[in-house]
């Protein structure tokens, strides 16, 4: 009887289908074919539960040619958007962060205030690569001066803390004998490039002297991503990303700032990123192939036929789409020991996993990405936004969170019907028959 009920539901849904292919296309061969029957991930669908039609896309196009054939249109500039500078005047971008060496002198506090006014902080050279970049940057401005950066032991002598409150790691290229706190020196700086013995090394200097130049860093004002973007009906809730050769490379969820609460509570600061700001929008981005390949080589027709939708799932977690990415395990067994919390199996949808889910968590910590497995293999993921969004692409779950989560955060009691979610499947076939966990 249950199976019969499911079949009746699917039949009824098909009558009212809001699918992007007309019903007669089920019985005919389309002029353009983007199928990849031999691939593991052989489809791309945005659906919900056992009803793959109501207010949701059915099959999404996976080639740019098919997308244009089905009425999808280019969203934004006609270029495979790579890492682009979106820095304020005078700043230079490096690994997704903007930096500027100021040719003026200030004490630590005034220098820090200048950086904050620019939307950033004093620079934080936490690794060899960034350190080398900043050395070249400062020396190009003034090779004979010291430059402050954002590292101090003001709170406790010897406990060096970065501007973002992270403790100094093992990377610490101090000059010989430094730090020595000879004159109550609590603020880090670069020795000058022309220093007789310690050129460009770190030194602990005075926080109050006004004779030291400084370096600021800031996040780019606009988000960056990879791929040509296509949308349907000018709705960025589902934005397809294609590589330089026109094959599917990822999917993006965009929401205009005007659609979000005016108090700036969404997205919460605690989960920004993976939210990335892009002018008048906020974005969540997933890639199905290595992001660094999207705008350089792309995929060939043979690779697309072999791999289908893609080979991996990457979630962009920062402004740099090639380095700021989270790789999602392909096997459910590989989630053990990670922050992914096992949720419930919902037959017809999949086995849900949520990031660091806890009963007593603040809903501002609710990570906007969840992942799903079937038969122990990754085949779907989704977005979770803590407010009601009007696009028909979203679902708005009522107080049935226990069907998907374990445990259910107490804070969700106040969010019944006010969340917006989206399930994205990477395979073909209707969920009731294939997504059995």
Whether residue 177 is found in the same domain as residue 274: no
pTM of the model: 0.66
pLDDT of residue 3: 39
DSSP structural state of residue 40: S
| Domain-embedded: residue 318 | yes
pLDDT of the chain, 437 residues: tens digit per residue: 433 333 333 333 333 333 333 333 333 344 578 888 888 899 998 875 444 444 555 689 999 999 999 999 999 888 887 545 567 778 998 988 999 999 999 999 999 999 998 889 999 999 999 999 999 999 999 999 999 999 999 999 999 999 999 999 999 999 999 999 888 999 999 999 999 889 999 999 999 999 999 999 998 755 578 999 999 999 999 999 999 999 999 999 999 999 999 888 899 988 888 998 887 889 999 999 999 899 888 999 999 999 999 999 999 998 778 888 999 999 999 999 999 999 998 877 889 999 999 999 998 999 999 999 999 999 999 999 999 998 888 888 876 788 888 899 999 887 766 889 999 999 886 554 566 77
pLDDT of residue 347: 79
Which token pair is 222?
Answer: 């606009």
Domain that holds residue 226: 2-82+222-434
Whether residue 403 is found in the same domain as residue 308: yes
* DSSP codes joined into one string, 281-338: EEEEEEESS-HHHHTTT---HHHHHHHBT-S-EEEE-SS-TTTSEEEEPSBGGGGTTS
Whether residue 156 is found in the same domain as residue 70: no
Whether residue 425 is found in the same domain as residue 288: yes
Whether residue 337 is found in the same domain as residue 290: yes
Whether residue 256 is found in the same domain as residue 173: no
Domain-terminating residue out of 174, 194, 218: 218
| Domain-embedded: residue 87 | no
pLDDT of residue 50: 46
Whether residue 206 is found in the same domain as residue 229: no
Domain-terminating residue out of 191, 218, 245: 218
Whether residue 290 is found in the same domain as residue 407: yes
What is the total count of domains within the chain? 2
| Domain-embedded: residue 37 | yes
Where would I find the beta strands (DSSP E) of 95-146?
Answer: 97-102, 120-122
Domain-terminating residue out of 218, 244, 266: 218
Q: How far apart are CA 226 and CA 89, in angstroms?
A: 24
Q: How far apart are CA 383 and CA 392, in angstroms?
A: 14
| Domain-embedded: residue 12 | yes
pLDDT of residue 322: 82
Whether residue 382 is found in the same domain as residue 279: yes
| Domain-embedded: residue 272 | yes
pLDDT of residue 52: 42
The answer to whether the beta carbons of residues 232 and 134 sit under 8 Å apart is no
- Nearby residues of 34 by Cβ (< 8 Å), 6 or more positions away: 61, 62, 63, 65, 66
Q: What is the CATH number of the domain that holds 179?
A: 3.10.100.10
Whether residue 129 is found in the same domain as residue 41: no
| Domain-embedded: residue 100 | yes
| Domain-embedded: residue 335 | yes
Whether residue 109 is found in the same domain as residue 27: no
pLDDT of residue 121: 96
* DSSP codes joined into one string, 170-228: S---BPTT----TTS--EEEEPPTT-TTTTT-EEEE-SS-S--EEEEEE--SB----SE
pLDDT of residue 53: 43
| Domain-embedded: residue 367 | yes
Whether residue 239 is found in the same domain as residue 110: no
């Amino acid at each position: 009887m249950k199976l019969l009920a499911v079949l009746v539901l699917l039949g009824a849904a098909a009558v009212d289908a809001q699918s992007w292919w007309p019903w007669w296309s089920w019985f005919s061969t389309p002029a353009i074919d983007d199928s990849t029957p031999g691939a593991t991930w052989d489809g791309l669908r945005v659906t919900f539960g056992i009803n793959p039609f109501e207010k949701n896309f059915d099959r999404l196009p996976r080639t740019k040619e098919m997308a244009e054939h089905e009425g999808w249109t280019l969203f934004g500039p006609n270029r495979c958007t790579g890492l682009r500078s979106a820095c304020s005047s005078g700043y230079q971008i490096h690994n997704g962060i903007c930096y500027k060496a100021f040719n003026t002198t200030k004490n630590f506090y005034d220098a820090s205030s200048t950086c904050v006014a620019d939307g950033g902080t004093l620079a934080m050279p936490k690794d060899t690569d960034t350190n080398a970049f900043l050395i070249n940057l400062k020396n190009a401005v003034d090779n004979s001066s010291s430059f402050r950066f954002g590292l101090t032991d003001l709170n406790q002598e010897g406990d060096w803390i970065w501007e973002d409150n992270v403790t100094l790691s093992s990377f610490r290229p101090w000059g010989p004998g430094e730090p020595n706190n000879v004159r109550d020196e609590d603020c880090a700086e670069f020795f000058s490039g022309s220093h007789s013995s310690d050129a460009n090394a770190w030194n602990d200097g005075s926080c109050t002297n006004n004779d030291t130049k400084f370096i600021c860093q800031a996040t780019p004002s606009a988000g960056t991503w990879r791929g040509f973007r296509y949308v349907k009906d000018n709705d960025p809730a589902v934005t397809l990303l294609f590589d330089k050769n026109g094959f599917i490379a990822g999917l993006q969820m965009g929401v205009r700032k005007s659609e979000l609460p005016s108090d700036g509570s969404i997205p919460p600061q605690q989960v920004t990123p993976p939210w990335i700001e892009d002018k008048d929008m906020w974005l969540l981005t997933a890639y199905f192939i290595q992001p660094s390949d999207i705008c350089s080589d792309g995929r060939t027709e043979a690779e697309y036929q072999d791999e289908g939708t893609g080979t991996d799932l990457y979630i962009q977690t920062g402004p740099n789409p090639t380095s700021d990415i989270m790789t999602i395990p392909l096997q459910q067994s590989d989630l053990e020991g990670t922050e992914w919390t096992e949720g419930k199996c919902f037959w017809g949808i999949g086995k849900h996993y949520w990031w660091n889910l806890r009963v007593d968590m603040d809903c501002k910590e609710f990570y906007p990405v969840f992942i799903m497995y079937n038969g122990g293999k990754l085949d779907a993921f989704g977005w979770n936004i803590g407010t009601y969004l009007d696009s028909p692409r979203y679902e708005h779950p009522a107080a049935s969170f226990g069907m998907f989560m374990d445990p259910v955060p107490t804070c969700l009691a106040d969010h019944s019907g006010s969340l917006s979610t989206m399930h994205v499947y990477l395979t073909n076939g209707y969920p009731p028959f294939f997504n059995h966990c």
